[in-house]
Chain A
Amino acid sequence: MSLSRHINADEVIEKSKEHQHRKHTASLGRQTVHQSWSRDDAAGVPKYTMPKVGINSKAAYQLLHDETALDGNPLLNLASFVHTWMPEEANKLIIENMNKNQVDLDEYPAATIIHSLADLWKAPKEGKVIGTSTAGSSEAIMLGGLAMKKRWQEARKAAGKDHYHPNIVFGSNAQVALEKFARYWDVEARLVPVNASTNYVMNPHDAIEYIDENTIGVMVILGSTYTGHFEDVQLMSDLLDKLQERTGLDIPIHVDGASGAFIAPFAYPDYKWAFDVPRVVSINTSGHKFGLVYAGLGWILWRDESLLHKDLIFELHYLGSVEYSFTLNFSKPASPIIAQMFNFLNLGFDGYRRIAMKDLRNARMLSRALEATYFTVMSNIHKLSARGQAELATAEDTDEPELYERGLPVVSFRLSDKFAAEFPHVQQAWIQSMLRTKGWIVPNYNAPEGETDTQILRVVVRETLSEDLLERLIVDILEITEGLMDSSTAAMLLQNQTLHQPDKEHGRPDNFGSTGQEEKQQVGFSRPC
């Protein structure tokens, strides 16, 4: 991506311009900027510095509005877990509160949500759950990890042992935020490799081998972003119980429920993964994924306030009252919390359940359609569970998610071995590019450490992906795949496609300060999450 290999597009554009002497009339502030606008007002606006004199608000609006037209359509973005639609009334509330700071928001909405989540996640009634909203799951995971680190440090200090070499254990299918936590907070990340036989998620039996006295905790992922599989919290806990009997090590579990903590309570209410497993000390989730709120909201809850180290809590004296803060951000928009509250009222348990069931049903339909044609599906939610095999034929409601294997409404698939053998010239990555030309965003990427040779296409089935759209998607995928079978197709040209985006290179790192040490290989999963 180094610039020198490319034509400098900025330079070319600059040379191609007519350099007329434009007169700028000096204007001051908003008050004197004329409200009516000339249509070419925005011409010649500098790109990398602040313009000396501004343009009127309408022209600024139009310029940015038009530029954002190049962005992908959030509805057709099947790569992201992030929710992109809310009812009109919710939009109205958000707009009304656009300028409100969460710090100034009454605590009632957030407190209500935290209590409702504690209830959904089966927190013991006798404990005193504590939690906070965050900007997203990244921040929430870091806080969860940080709390575990502080507790470990304290215990080690009390025992007079070295407290400088902590480590944390999680599957190599982890989202990048988990690895970020480790690196930013000087905690060694011990990645448990995954492969097809472990369903591309961490196998608790493997994880045990990575644990020692310096392990601050295990992060168990409820809903791998690769394939949607749930990691087995209960089994991990059982194995850690045995470990404790053997060695005395008491290792806590943090559940990364970024997606799953808003699916499991509704689709699988009897499934044990949350605070009903005593070893689980904290859980995080994203309000902006299956919490069905726009980007900008995460949650983390601790089973009991004693688990949140006192060091992490800041007492804020503000306007005569006392607030407590334990987040990495301070001022942030209030509207996502208000939107979450709206969903809780509007949907209730039943509404969330119906949406989760619909997502899963649609995901099953897509899975079956793919499996029946040229693809192998790696996600499992369309496969019958033991209960399903026994009961499906007689079941009243074939939508009951427990009839199928548990997981997120995510469909991960690849070209079948048979297809690959028959059409070896077809690269799976082309499907991503060809779908993009039809508007769909479906990423193609390598499976996690341990199985990196496998490539996966992935579709996240969100609320907005209706059955009707899904049918269109299936038609497009099949049409594209069949087009690719023909080796003369123009798709061959795609082989060499790498987009050159000069704008992106500006201000981009090409040679960051070398830290002198050998560069660490990053393996964490880096999809938006």
Chain B
Amino acid sequence: MALSKHINADRLLQEARDKKSKSHSHFSSLTQRETPNSSSFHPYGSRYGTTSVPKYHIASKGIDPDSAYQIIHDELALDGSPLLNLASFVHTWMPSAADKLMIENMSKNLIDGDEYPATQIIHNRCDAIGTATTGSSEAIQLGGLAMKRIWQEKRKAAGKSIYEPNIIMGANAQVALEKFARYFDVECRLVPISVESKYRLDPKKAMEFVDENTIGVFVILGSTYTGHYEPVKEMSDLLDEYEAKTGHSVPIHRPCATPKLLWDFKIPRVVSINTSGHKFGLAYVGVGWVVWRDKQHLPKDLIFELHYLGSVEYSFSLNFSRPAAPIIAQYFSLLHLGFEGYRSVALNDLKNARLLSRALENSKYYTVLSDIHRLDPAVVDESDIESYVPGLPVIAFRFSDDFQAQYPEIQQKWIQTLLRARGWIVPNYELAPALEKVEILRVVVRENMSEVLIERLVNDLMEITEDLISKDSSTHALDILGRGHGAKHERAHGQLDDPGSTSSGTYAKTC
């Protein structure tokens, strides 16, 4: 990422400009006050048609809102289409009535509980002992923090050291889980994954990592790699045995992507659960939830009392002021869809995911690593969801062994680039530690990924793959593209020259 290796695009552009347009030098002084140019009110107004918008400082004079709108609007056209972004779990479509509600509440702050009691009440209806967060990252950190604090209190009471806590999770964990460990000084014990463990936490192996300093186990309901659910029950049983043997009680926190499986607390060892409202909770980005089994598992120490306008509020989150609109959108979805609606959306997602999985497998070019399309051999009814292996509507796939043997020169990451050229965003990446040699492509099937779009995607995938097979295809020339998006001059600014950090192995995809 060091700039010196690259051409300096800023300088390149500067030198490429007409020499006479030096007039923008007046932006360089912040305190200078000159009379405003007669600015035009056309979106592509003459003012910014001829001078450049300053990049690294705020302009001394503003421009009219129309031009500001147009400049930003056009710049954002370069962003990918949220609909075709199959890399992200984040929900991107809501009915127009929900859009309208969000727009109405755009300027509202969730924290103004007393000013906006209705908003606050809605929030309370959504959860028991818990809180809304900006997303699952914050929720996971709160869950981990509560477990850490409870462990500390126990250790203190027993007169033991409180300084070497550790937490256990599968190596397939999303980056937020490891972030918790590093930010809160908890040793992160990653349990390696394997093909046999279905690319997720192996409870038996996890037990080798447990000791008296273990504050808890993160069990992931829905691995972001392959969509597999981790076996909570088995983990809990093993921890029961451990407790019987050693007297150490290790709790479980469970991040999960979909709210449809709230039977989790039926397992007594599960003390807290987090989820993203903005994933399969079907609200726009900006809402997560964390719920604790009961008040005993949320240490009072972490709760701040807010005395405000004559009433008392409680706060246990890492953000304070935050938009109220995502919470309102979440409540809208709960009301509008109801249990049946969520079920129907989930079943539909899974049906479409199965369609894609089977198509990929039948093509023989690809091997599918996720299992949601595999039938329980005992069952015959293909339309009953219970007949299939449970999991998220996520398809992880790779070139089949046959394909790799036959076309060893074709690199799987080319598929990512070639799909991108057609508008699709489908990431190609390595599996978690222990299996990092295996590269997978992954598609998340969200509500707006309709059957029609699945069909288009399959068509495009097959076309691209077959183009690569035919030797005379010019797409071979794309070899060089496999390295990514080319040099990112803009990105180099405000970024690290030498980050010094190395990829830790945990999963760092959008989540």
Contacts and interface: CB of A to CB of B under 8 A. Distances in A.
Interface string B283-317: 01110000000111111111111111111101100
Nearest to A498: B310
Contacts of A312: 182-183
14 contacts: A53-B338, A55-B338, A60-B332, A87-B65, A120-B57, A295-B108, A310-B499, A319-B484, A325-B179, A328-B183, A329-B138, A346-B68, A513-B150, A513-B295
- Size bracket, chain A contacts: 35 or more
B336 interface: yes
A104 B80 contact: yes
A317 to B, nearest CB: 6
B339 interface: yes
B38 interface: no
Interface stretch (A133-141, A199-207, A387-395, A406-414): A133-141
A177 interface: yes
Contact of A341 (B72, B321, B323, B500): B72
Given A67-B122, A296-B286, A526-B304, A331 B278 contact: yes
Given A105-B79, A106-B79, A443 B309 contact: yes
B319 interface: yes
A269 B511 contact: no
A131 interface: yes
B104 A324 contact: no
A116 interface: yes
Contacts of A511: 295
A28 interface: yes
Interface string B106-149: 11111110111111111011011110011111100100010001
A246 interface: no
A150 to B, nearest CB: 9
B491 interface: yes
Interface residues of B, number: 173
B42 interface: no
A286 B321 contact: yes
Contacts of A87: 65
Interface stretch (A94-102, A232-240, A368-376, A476-484): A94-102
B334 A528 contact: no
B59 A314 contact: no
A158 to B, nearest CB: 16
A60 B294 CA distance: 30
B194 interface: no
Contacts of B153: 515-517
Contact of A136 (B73, B104, B149, B322): B322
A338 B310 CA distance: 36
A72 B100 contact: no
A42 interface: yes
A421 interface: no
A184 B331 CA distance: 29
A349 B339 contact: no
Contact of A28 (B118, B299, B340, B482): B340
Interface in A353-369: none
A109 B296 contact: no
Contacts of A179: 304
A120 B336 CA distance: 46
B268 interface: no
Contact of B61 (A29, A334, A350): A350
A510 B339 CA distance: 30
Contacts of B318: 138-139, 142, 180, 184, 328-329
A512 B120 contact: no
B87 interface: yes
A516 B157 contact: yes
B374 interface: no
A28 B31 CA distance: 62
Interface in A259-298: 269, 286, 288, 294-296
Contacts of A29: 337, 340-341, 344-345, 348
B300 A519 contact: yes
A495 to B, nearest CB: 12
Contacts of B120: 504
Interface in A475-520: 497-499, 501, 503-504, 506-509, 511-517, 519-520
B494 interface: yes
A244 interface: no
Given A28-B340, A99-B93, A108 B490 contact: yes
A172 interface: no
Contacts of A30: 95, 336-337, 341, 345
B336 A350 contact: no
B483 interface: yes
A28 B68 contact: no
Give the interface centre of B64, B72, B117, B299 by most chain A CB atoms within 10 Å: B72
A333 B286 contact: yes
| A-B interface, 10 closest residue pairs, ranked by CB to CB distance from nearest | A320-B484, A54-B338, A29-B344, A348-B62, A72-B115, A71-B116, A61-B97, A316-B508, A89-B69, A526-B306
A156 interface: no
B496 interface: yes
A521 to B, nearest CB: 10
A34 B107 CA distance: 31
Contacts of B493: 111, 115
A516 B127 CA distance: 26
A319 B312 CA distance: 46
Given A94-B106, A328-B137, A314 B508 contact: yes
Contacts of B71: 345
A188 to B, nearest CB: 13
Contacts of A286: 321
Contacts of A327: 137
Nearest to B292: A513
A333 B72 contact: no
Nearest to B34: A350
Interface string B7-44: 00000000000000000000000110100100000000
Given A60-B332, A269-B31, A332-B286, 6 more contacts: A54-B336, A103-B510, A106-B76, A295-B109, A321-B491, A519-B300
B79 A296 contact: no
Give the interface centre of A29, A86, A179, A501 by most chain B CB atoms within 10 Å: A29
B336 A33 contact: yes
B209 interface: no
A379 interface: no
Given A176-B320, A341-B72, A99 B297 contact: no
B78 interface: yes
B182 A330 contact: no
Nearest to A96: B73
Given A106-B78, A503-B121, A294 B319 contact: no
Nearest to A32: B344
B118 A70 contact: yes
Contact of A501 (B66, B311, B508): B311
A331 B90 contact: yes
